[in-house]
Structure 1
Amino acid sequence: MVTDVIDVVAEVAVSRRALWTLLLDPQTYPRVYPGVGGCEPLESVDGSSVVRFRVGNPTVGIGTVDIRLMVGRWFERLELQCAGRESFASIRLSGEGERTRVALTCFRAGRLHPAIAGLPKSVVVRWITDGLARAVDIARGARTSVLVNAENSPVRHQVGVARQILGSGVVTSRPDLLVGQLRELARWGFNMAGGFGAGAAHSPELAAIVDARGSRTYAEIDARSTALAAAMADLGLGSVDAIGLLSRNHAGMVETMVAAGKLGLDVVLMNAGLSGRRLEEIVQRDRLAALFVDGRLEELVKYLHDGIPRILTDDGDGASHHRTIGDLIALGHREFRKPAQPGRLVVLTSGTSGTPKGARRPHPRGFGTIAALLSRIPLRMNEVMLIPAPLFHTWGLAGLQIGTALRATTVLVEQFDAEDTLRLIVEHQVSALLVVPTMVQRILDLPISVRARYNVSSLRVVASCGAPLAAATVLRFLDSFGDILYNVYGSTEVSWATIATPEDLRISPMTAGCPPLGTKVAVLGSDRRPVPVGAPGRIFVGNHMLFDGYVNSAPPDEADGMLDTGDLGYVDAAGRLFIAGRDDEMIISGGENVFPRPVEEALAQLPQVSDVAVVGVPDREFGQRLAAFVVKRDGVGLDSDMVRDYIRDRLGRVSVPRDVAFLSDLPRGETGKILKRLLGQGA
């Protein structure tokens, strides 16, 4: 076991000032030491920083320790004190130029970090010196921030894919059923058409889609989509055309996408939260040959010219004179020319910073897509999957595609309601729930007495994607529902990038996780070369599902086959990615770089705060300044001075929002993302 006193001496090739700057910053320690995470600033004591670290691992458990950083003498002596556990670490620096001698003494380190309590002294010394070496790498600019999960090794990738697919049962071992599955995949490809066809060949009577109107089996979806594709062809639609699909989540939306894929039509998935003017722009920009629309959304496109055919994806309200997809299916047509390539899906970007762009989704290449997600999220065959996330959004669409490959029964919800979601979980014994972060928060906001009415023990996976999850939300959810939360980081352009498991989130609630199978993530500097582990830079992603470009816009920057996500972040010593914020969200205030997200995270910890967003706004004196928009919980006291004092105590003067506004709610898009451009306009 580790002794009470550990002395470590190291000579490093870096200036004392550069190393001191890193060691004085509490955020450095979780970045360079595995098993340390969740760095939360607390109120300072006598001018000294106090932070709360999360320490441990899943084996020994994860707890918190409060550490006070005490400066003995600038650039020479620093102490990390934990009075509650009678432990400390003393760091002493000496040396000149680019040579520094580090003398470090740890007293009762095992009380601070449970994972090292039972280790030999030599292992603990190596852990200390390795972390110190990573800090030196940051100061010297070592090029180490590259995470690769078999992306650059075709053989390893193929072996990994085979292991996931065979182990999960995506491909059956029964020869009679296997032939039918492979025939349908060969006919339509590794897309939803092929997925529903393979599902129909294996389990024709299995419920594929359940919505408010009833359920459809795999055989029904396959047959109805074929009849719809033939009817579309009779309308003159073909593989050179693109159609628009404006719909909520239901079986008719799915059948339209599958039918279009079979006919070779591109489908532009239109956001139901956009204005009629914006939808008209998209119809004209993408030269859509027809529009398939829900009856209840038809009002949004009523001013489109009559030359664009409109077909309802549902039964409508009886007032519309347009035909429905049910009418077309009832014609009973079956024959149409199979296209050389299946149709593609075009997903609109969120448009949080401007006009949504149409991003062409690629055709999946074999089983690699499903294998990648299964490598980080333990989904199973025949899941009952609930998707309240919109299917016109990348994550909702991905969930549907995953469910099809797993022969899942997918329950679709047209409008999210937190309590109704819990009811559906119980009613259908849902095992996997795919949501966007605002849905996670809304479920937690339900009174405990309401949540207690529903036994949701069938849930094994809750996967969130689309925006950052606040650390406070992550921990509340894990404590309330168990270790079933998965946080997926990605975008319309790169699909997935990283996935955080419950084990990742327990130690580091803000992490975006690690790359799944077949994915490469790199944090690059301005020279497009990797930065050190722990240092911030631009996040680039490479995998086999990078998008095929925008419909009519220039693609993002590229480096070594990876796309620029537009996000800034860093990688820690455990190989986890962290998102600092959007590149266009960082502000320069009085010459200092400031990110809104740490301020948002700090305010989200306040029990009085229900929702919060922080943006940069112009400032005549400092160039830019932070403005905070806060939604308070009912019946609580909180004013702007309290907000500013709280941030000043925890994050320092430069992070204090000079503008604090209290709103009844924040503007959000259909996918739950906060529309920060709308907030910044009024500040």
Structure 2
Amino acid sequence: MRGDRRTIGDYLRDHAAARADAVALVFEDRETSFGALDRQVSRVANGLAAMGIGAGSRVAFLGRNCDLYFQFWLGAIRAGAVMVPINWRLAPPEVAFVLGDSRPALLLADPEFLAALETPPACPSLLTTDGEEGQSFEAWRDAQSEADPRTDGGYDDVVLQLYTSGTTGHPKGALLTNRSLLGLRDAVPEDALPVWYRWDADDVALVAMPIFHISGSGWGLWSLQHGAKAIIVRDFDPHQVLDLLVQYRITKLMIVPTALRIICDHPRATQTDFSFLDYICYGGSAIPLDLLRQAIGIFGCGFAQMYGMTETAGTITGLPPEDHDVAGNDRMGSVGLPLPGVEIRIFDGDGRELPRGEVGEIAIRSAANMVGYHNRPDATAETIDADGWLRTGDAGRMDADGYVYLADRIKDMIITGGENVYPAEVENAIFSHPQVHDVAVIGVPDPKWGEAVKAIVVPVEGESPDPASIIAWARARIAAYKAPKSVDFVDALPRNPSGKVLRRVLRNRYR
């Protein structure tokens, strides 16, 4: 094992000792070296210890992306505590739920989000990122000793509690350990990892995804783990992202296809030389073929699709650059191959493994799996079985070569005339229609078929598509029974704070 079970704290200490002056974090006009970061992290850990915050305690962060978050998180880890980043897009009652469920001993917040807190907030102590309201985090940090307390937890201790998006009911806090966040890269030799998945100290990564998601916290952490430079973006802004890509010669970018399209459509994109960019990794959905063609023409780098979830600490499969074809191919409909160290099976409803090609529930077993849900033993037992298989709730299949294809969330499956239809498959067929900007598919009650497939479409601005043309478009690409029986048009689809379409809301609306 390359990592020899080193924890997150061990990696930081190693880089600070070997490359103290190398830049670790860049945020706006502030650069922090690995040596300075190591000292700041010790100050945070000592400050937490002075407040009685130690092993197993929770601390929380409510704010936009910034370098102070990583200082706070790594300091909490060095104190043996657990970080709880909170989605700042949540409504006050939702923020209150997360605080009440996690019960942090200390909250660090951007002043702009203090109004989202209960009065008083559900935690005994509060710091702010700029000190305008309440005690300044930086002033509190700098008043502490910079001696390393070395009170980190072990490899299997929890260091991050990330809340799931909660499309139904309250969100659940997924418990991630050092092993969850580091284990996949530590468990195999470097040369056994896919090339697009490797990092080294020469990499420069852009942290543009929200840190309350694994795509933000994890991306920043993996950069620090490998001694690379992380450029942190407070909010996604295409103009700023283009500036930073060029200014810092970014080599690795993690993004969702929707944001990638915004960048590609920016007037400056086609006028910029991006030869320094090695890989664009994307997740959340497949990349439309027209966007891939546009992005390859602009960036000329490798593209890799990543599939994972909060409960798997992020990426557990990847579609490598060589499977991205501007002419299109069957494998581009997949989420790729399992990473080394990841086992994937397709289970039926009774937990039996299905043959290759059959659709069932995707189950994952790997070092990256969470250890459970915070204070939710029943939900943990429903998700992870005695043999360590984590049931994802995603329907999918695996082909003969081991590529994984998503169908949809199990709960969103439509049964029409005795046939199973997965909304994502129908949405993918409709999404390529030139007059469709966005689409969601649901099942609605039908006296003949039990359920009928309905598409809810957001048209391209200025377009007025004909429902019959959309149905015909779908029937030309998927089986007739999967195609929508009806199409409605809306201005926007309901989404949760993480951007996921709330099909439950749509089903209630049409039932």
Matches within 5 A, 1:441-456: 441-444=261-264, 446-447=265-266, 449-456=267-274
Alpha-carbon distance between aligned partners in 1 of 2:119 and 2:408, rounded to the nearest angstrom: 39
Shift of 1:456: 1.9
Alpha-carbon distance between aligned partners in 2 of 1:594 and 1:402, rounded to the nearest angstrom: 38
Contact 1:273/1:669 (8 A) holds in 2: no
Aligned with residue 139 of structure 2, among 327, 331, 334:
327
Bigger relative contact order, structure 1 or 2 (CA pairs below 8 A, ≥6 apart): 1
Alpha-carbon distance between aligned partners in 2 of 1:504 and 1:353, rounded to the nearest angstrom: 35
Shift of 1:340: 5.2
Shift of 1:210: 0.9
Deviations 1:251-282 (A, max 9, x none): 11111101111111112121122111011011
Alpha-carbon distance between aligned partners in 2 of 1:559 and 1:505, rounded to the nearest angstrom: 37
Shift of 1:660: 2.6
Corresponding residue for residue 515 of structure 1: 338
RMSD: 2.6
Corresponding residue for residue 284 of structure 2: 466
- The structure-2 alpha-carbon separation of the partners of 1:281 and 1:383, relative to structure 1 and needing over 3 Å to count, comes to same
Shift of 1:224: 1.0
Q: Does 1:311 align with 2:124?
A: no
Contact 1:466/1:673 (8 A) holds in 2: no
Contact 1:587/1:595 (8 A) holds in 2: yes
Q: Does 1:558 align with 2:392?
A: no
Matches within 5 A, 1:559-574: 560-574=387-401
Aligned with residue 259 of structure 2, among 439, 443, 455:
439
- The structure-2 alpha-carbon separation of the partners of 1:365 and 1:559, relative to structure 1 and needing over 3 Å to count, comes to closer
- Name the SS of the counterpart of 2:75 in structure 1: helix
- Name the SS of the counterpart of 2:85 in structure 1: strand
- The structure-2 alpha-carbon separation of the partners of 1:577 and 1:561, relative to structure 1 and needing over 3 Å to count, comes to same
Contact 2:40/2:146 (8 A) holds in 1: no
Aligned with residue 209 of structure 1, among 25, 28, 31:
25
Alpha-carbon distance between aligned partners in 1 of 2:289 and 2:320, rounded to the nearest angstrom: 14
- Name the SS of the counterpart of 1:552 in structure 2: coil
Question: What letter matches 2:395 in structure 1?
Answer: L
- Name the SS of the counterpart of 2:11 in structure 1: helix
Corresponding residue for residue 238 of structure 1: 54
Shift of 1:296: 2.1
- Name the SS of the counterpart of 1:233 in structure 2: helix
Question: What letter matches 1:190 in structure 2?
Answer: T
- The structure-2 alpha-carbon separation of the partners of 1:420 and 1:266, relative to structure 1 and needing over 3 Å to count, comes to same
Deviations 1:432-458 (A, max 9, x none): 0012333223334x15x4321322221
Deviations 1:14-62 (A, max 9, x none): xxxxxxxxxxxxxxxxxxxxxxxxxxxxxxxxxxxxxxxxxxxxxxxxx
Corresponding residue for residue 221 of structure 1: 37
Q: Does 1:190 align with 2:2?
A: no
Aligned with residue 471 of structure 2, among 621, 630, 644:
644
Shift of 1:307: 5.9
Alpha-carbon distance between aligned partners in 1 of 2:249 and 2:205, rounded to the nearest angstrom: 9
Aligned with residue 259 of structure 1, among 67, 71, 75:
75
Question: What letter matches 1:451 in structure 2?
Answer: A
Contact 1:521/1:539 (8 A) holds in 2: yes
Question: What letter matches 1:486 in structure 2?
Answer: A
- Name the SS of the counterpart of 1:283 in structure 2: helix
The structure 1 segments of at least 4 consecutive aligned residues displaced by more than 6 Å after TM superposition are: none
Question: What letter matches 2:306 in structure 1?
Answer: V
Alpha-carbon distance between aligned partners in 2 of 1:364 and 1:551, rounded to the nearest angstrom: 17
Alpha-carbon distance between aligned partners in 1 of 2:284 and 2:416, rounded to the nearest angstrom: 28
What is the TM-score when the length of structure 2 is the normalising length? 0.89
Q: Does 1:338 align with 2:158?
A: no
Deviations 1:177-220 (A, max 9, x none): xxxxxxxx99xx421x3332222111111111111242111111
Alpha-carbon distance between aligned partners in 1 of 2:276 and 2:245, rounded to the nearest angstrom: 8
Identity percentage of aligned residues? 27
Shift of 1:350: 2.0
Aligned with residue 490 of structure 1, among 308, 311, 334:
308
Shift of 1:232: 1.9
Shift of 1:331: 0.9
Matches within 5 A, 1:411-426: 411-426=231-246
Corresponding residue for residue 72 of structure 1: none
Deviations 1:51-93 (A, max 9, x none): xxxxxxxxxxxxxxxxxxxxxxxxxxxxxxxxxxxxxxxxxxx
Aligned with residue 301 of structure 1, among 117, 125, 129:
117
Corresponding residue for residue 626 of structure 1: 453
Instruction: Count how many residue pairs are aligned between Structure 1 and Structure 2.
Output: 493
- Name the SS of the counterpart of 2:119 in structure 1: coil
- The structure-2 alpha-carbon separation of the partners of 1:307 and 1:544, relative to structure 1 and needing over 3 Å to count, comes to closer
Where do 5+ consecutive residues of structure 1 fail to align?
A: 1-157, 166-184
Corresponding residue for residue 223 of structure 2: 403
Matches within 5 A, 1:22-421: 158=1, 162=2, 189-191=6-8, 193-305=9-121, 308-312=124-128, 314-315=129-130, 318=132, 320=133, 322-334=134-146, 338=151, 341=154, 344-364=159-179, 368-371=183-186, 375-376=193-194, 377=196, 378-421=198-241
Alpha-carbon distance between aligned partners in 1 of 2:288 and 2:460, rounded to the nearest angstrom: 17
Alpha-carbon distance between aligned partners in 2 of 1:598 and 1:306, rounded to the nearest angstrom: 43
Greater C-alpha Rg: 1
Aligned with residue 414 of structure 2, among 582, 587, 607:
587
- The structure-2 alpha-carbon separation of the partners of 1:363 and 1:457, relative to structure 1 and needing over 3 Å to count, comes to same
Q: Does 1:429 align with 2:219?
A: no
Question: What letter matches 2:107 in structure 1?
Answer: L
Alpha-carbon distance between aligned partners in 1 of 2:308 and 2:227, rounded to the nearest angstrom: 24
What is the TM-score when the length of structure 1 is the normalising length? 0.67
Alpha-carbon distance between aligned partners in 2 of 1:367 and 1:268, rounded to the nearest angstrom: 18
